[in-house]
Structure 1
Amino acid sequence: MHDESTKQPCCNPPWEPPQVIPAQVRRVNNLIFRKINQFHRENNVDNVTPMHDWIMSYLYWHKNDPVYQRDIEREFSITRSTVTNILQLMERKGYIERQSVPQDARLKRLILTEEGVRVHEKTMLSLHQTDEFVAGLLTEEENAELLRLLNKLRKGLE
């Protein structure tokens, strides 16, 4: 005989939704992006997406190294088709150029344009403002622990 009183309801998960880690991370991520967008508007770069920010930053800090599409795919853990679309839009906006490589015509080195450098500097100001705002919500010890835990999660999920 089956005991109905111990049976779990069909539609109620055994956890409280606000405590599911991926859901909480997603919520915090959305709020951080809103804050970035607020600072972007204040710094007159509200037409730049956060992903464009990060790619321009990567190209800026690696300007003396050859950077190719596969490097962007690996660095940001995004698919080839997604990176292709992002880079095409960045090229149309004048942020980057693709330069042919003499040893392999199939490879295109990614170069940040002067416009890309200018936009990068303004977007970096917004990102620094966001980072300072978010870090200010926690103590120094809490920030260190949060970063440690996020890095641990990222490494475990890669």
Structure 2
Amino acid sequence: MQPKISFCLEWKMVSNLMRHSANACTTCVEATNLTGMQLFILEYLYQHQEQDVFQRDLEAEFHVRRSTVTGILKGMEKKGLIQRLSVEEDARLKRIILTPQAKSLHREVEMAVVRMEKIALRGLSKAEIEVFLEILEKMKANLQEDMLTYDEQKGE
């Protein structure tokens, strides 16, 4: 009899596979050595070019810590993909913009994201995908609610 594997362990394995898949899909993006997260941030910045985007927006959108986003952005800056520009009203705030180099990679980045999603969703019906996305939204809401409760208990 097979031992029962917990949901959390299964989720972690899928998450690891998605990260590896995202990293593999980026190798074809014009030799930029993008990480999977950099790929998703580039796509987010491209889709929100007409808005002011700050580091805190990325932290909230991707549910990651400030230190994580700081490291990712430093790497992207070093690769010449983004610039962080001070805002007149508050020099501490840095608006994040894509460089022309990053904009020129958009089509390849978009294709890499589509390719990765096609691989991950292969064999699933449209109805299964819709149900899965609904379940993911509920799970995110549950976890976010729990984190708020935890933060309140800690006094933050």
Specify if TM > 0.5: yes
What corresponds to 1:51 in structure 2? Answer: 37
Runs of 4+ aligned structure 1 residues displaced above 6 Å come to none
Identity fraction in percent: 36
Q: Deviations over 1:105-132 (max 9, x none)?
A: 1111100111112233212211101212
Question: Residue 108 of structure 2: which of 108, 122, 138 is its match?
Answer: 122
Contact kept, 8 Å, 2:29 with 2:108, in 1: the verdict is yes
TM-score (norm 1): 0.80
The letter for the 2-side match of 1:133 is I
Using the TM superposition, name which of 91-100 and 128-137 deviates more: 128-137
Letter of the 2:54 partner, please give it.
Y
1:142 aligns with 2:122: no
* TM-aligned CA deviation for residue 149 of structure 1: 0.9
CA distance in 1, matches of 2:113, 2:107: 10
Aligned 8 A contact 2:82 2:96 in 1: yes
1:40–1:126 contact (8 Å) kept in structure 2: yes
Give 5+ residue unaligned stretches, structure 1. Answer: 1-15
Question: Do the aligned partners of residues 44 and 111 (structure 1) sit closer, same or farther apart at CA in structure 2, a change above 3 Å counting?
Answer: closer
What letter is aligned with 1:100? Answer: S
Q: Shift in Å at residue 156 of structure 1?
A: 0.7
> 1:68, 1:109 within 8 Å by CA — same for their partners in 2?
yes
Distance 2:57 2:128 in 1: 32
Q: Could you tell me how far 1:86 is from its partner in structure 2?
A: 1.2
Pick one of 108, 128, 141 that aligns with 2:94. 108
**Which position in structure 2 is the counterpart of 1:35?**
21
Secondary structure of 1:19 counterpart: coil
- The root-mean-square deviation of aligned C-alpha atoms, in Å, is 2.0
Q: Distance in 2 between matches of 1:17 and 1:79?
A: 35
Matched AA of 1:151: E
Distance 2:110 2:119 in 1: 14
5+ long unaligned stretches in structure 2: 145-156
Question: Normalising by the residue count of structure 2, what TM-score does the alignment of the two structures yield?
Answer: 0.81
Give 1:44 deviation, angstroms: 4.4
* CA pair 80-41 structure 1, distance change in 2 beyond 3 A: closer
- C-alpha distance in structure 1 between counterparts of 2:29 and 2:90, whole Å: 40
* Residues in 1 aligned to 2:68 and 2:83: alpha-carbon distance in whole angstroms: 18
Question: Retained in 2: the 8 A contact 1:98–1:110?
Answer: yes
